[in-house]
Amino acid sequence: MAAPVGATSMTWHEELATLVGDTGIRYSTGDPIDNNQLHGVKTDGYFGYEEEKGGTEEPWMDQIKGFAESTAEMMRELGRGCWDIARQSVQGAEESEFVKKMRGPLSEAAEKLSFLNEYLPEDKEPAQAWPVVISVFLIALLVLNIGSSSNETPTVVEAPKKMYIAPPSATRIQLPDGRHLAYLQQGVPPELARFNMIMPHSFLSSRLAGIPGMSLTLLEEFGVQLVTYDLPGFGESDPHPERNLNTSALDMLHLANSLGISEKFWVVGYSGGAIHAWAAARYIPDNLAGVAMFAPMVNPYDMSMNKEERRKTWEKWSAGRKFMYTLARKFPSLLSFYYRKSFLSGTQGQLERWLSVLLMKKDKLLLEEPVFMEFWEKDVAESVRQGDAKPFIEESVIQVSDWGFTLSEIQVQKQKDGRRFLSLLKSLFSPAEKEWTGFLGPIHVWQGMDDTVVPPSMTDFVRRVVPGATVHTLHGEGHFSYFCFCDKCHRQIFSTLFGIPQGPLTIQQEIAETTEELTEETAIPEEMTTEVTAIDNSTEQE
């Protein structure tokens, strides 16, 4: 189109300026530029931008803060966009066979995972919040990987140590149901034992553990026989198809009978092995002489725990440990994947990582000792001998499921007979002793106050619901430091349980005690003696 007559022709950048207004941009025509006329205008190539004269550069912290805020805003918008796209795609494919098939499983999975929404802020919509959380997590993971790979001083990563499993060597007994149970005897022979102790092991352990570092000399000094055994499916013991805590207590009783332990025996429970010791106190109380517990595990979901006990227990655990308990309670089949990537992988690993625990200083120092590492590697290798994840899953599930009893049933107060009115009145006005049923023998509990595996709040719960328990609090001790490789501690324990050491029984003492028992069994009751005397007197009178 021709320009109007009399109109002044404009250059192309002047015409553009009339359309967009003054933006502060100045276009160069190729002529030399006078620096004195720029007044703070910086140029690069054919154009520049104006800068306020005397302006200062934005501080680094403000730049980083702005960058973080912008990134977060972008991720939020990205999450919303992804969610909208996915929702519109699904809504637009109502008749799709894929959508029809996946709607049911996805709904079921969403319902099972709905408990995770409790960790979100109350004002956030889960459908929009979770895509943002996942996206931020993936970016953070990418940043960490980039940061670790850009280190100037590369760290030398040692190859994992292969796990060595020794040839089978356990002594085994056959149980009434046909299964075989592997066990280990330590201390004095059964016929010379003053005290017999039977000990089930904890999670990721075996019969080889026992009381780690226990001196054979100390066992002989106190006349103790210590018997440890592999739980079903662990070590060299056969698995149990339907095991629970009741069958665990019966296995213990059958083991004692097979070894000729005719007298009552002590049961020892450490950490996760305590759940089987509690079962023995509940199901076979008449066969027990006493119970010795060390950092005893209880069910963290026990309904008898009050709010404060539950809060103190869960806050001591790491996020990984909480996650493992959640899987055991809600998705136990997923535990197999984790176990096969860790202690069932055929290589040795770190205790803290495998058990998802955070230990205090004294426990950490012990774990670094060569004697503990040697014990730990040997014990774990024996524990996973069969290479099957099922017994470990069963043990985890038993720990957080309904035990079939509560700890308050270990010792139960007898109910008063309401028909005996006079006895009731007498009990109200006179300080009579309470009568109890259940296991009435001694119960000793040792608890480290710096224990992060079994928090002290669990022992507080035991103290409250088992009134007959004697609790020994150990200040400055952790989960391993008092129980493992501590000669002084082991002597204190035996002195508390058994008193002054008297050594093993002698042959003469054994014969004397056996004779005394037989005499008591065959003794004629006093009533029968009185009747015989009366008959003799009447015969003489006749």
pLDDT for 430 equals 55
pLDDT for 75 equals 73
Angstrom distances, CA of residue 159 to CA of 156, 162, 349, 381, 491: 10, 9, 11, 18, 40
pLDDT digits (tens, 9 = 90+) for 506-525: 865 655 555 565 555 555 44
* 12 and 27 Cβ atoms separated by less than 8 Å: no
Q: How far apart are CA 35 and CA 42, in angstroms?
A: 10
Whether the per-residue pLDDT at 58 is higher than 60: the answer is no
pLDDT digits (tens, 9 = 90+) for 380-405: 999 999 999 999 999 999 999 999 99
Closest to 465 measured CA to CA, from 405, 416, 415? 405
* 198 and 227 Cβ atoms separated by less than 8 Å: yes
pLDDT for 152 equals 47
* 398 and 178 Cβ atoms separated by less than 8 Å: no
- Burial code (b: 16+ CB inside 10 Å, e: under 16) for 180-216 equals ebbbbbbbbeeebbbbbbbbbbbbbbbbbbbbbebee
Q: How far apart are CA 211 and CA 270, in angstroms?
A: 9
- Average the pLDDT over 177-191 and give the result: 96
pLDDT for 541 equals 47
Closest to 221 measured CA to CA, from 493, 525, 539? 493
Helix 456-465 to helix 307-315 angle (10° resolution) is 160
Confidence class for position 100, pLDDT limits 50, 70, 90: low
Q: Does the model's pTM come out above 0.85?
A: no
Confidence class for position 542, pLDDT limits 50, 70, 90: very low
Hey, what long-range contacts does 357-362 have (CB within 8 A, 24 or more apart)?
357/317, 357/318, 357/321, 357/452, 357/453, 357/479, 358/318, 358/452, 359/452, 359/453, 359/478, 359/479, 359/480, 360/450, 360/451, 360/452, 360/478, 362/450, 362/476, 362/477, 362/478, 362/481
pLDDT for 507 equals 62
- Average the pLDDT over 374-381 and give the result: 95
pLDDT for 536 equals 47
Token pair recorded at residue 396? 């985890």
- Average the pLDDT over 489-501 and give the result: 97
pLDDT for 499 equals 96
* Strand-pair category, 288-294 with 265-270: parallel
Sheet holding 288-294, edge to edge: 171-174, 180-187, 224-229, 195-200, 265-270, 288-294, 443-448, 469-474
- Burial code (b: 16+ CB inside 10 Å, e: under 16) for 418-450 equals eeeeeeeeeeeeeeeeeeeebbeebbbbbbbeb
Whether the per-residue pLDDT at 231 is higher than 70: the answer is yes
pLDDT digits (tens, 9 = 90+) for 281-335: 999 999 999 999 999 999 999 999 999 999 999 998 988 889 999 999 999 999 9
- Average the pLDDT over 98-127 and give the result: 65
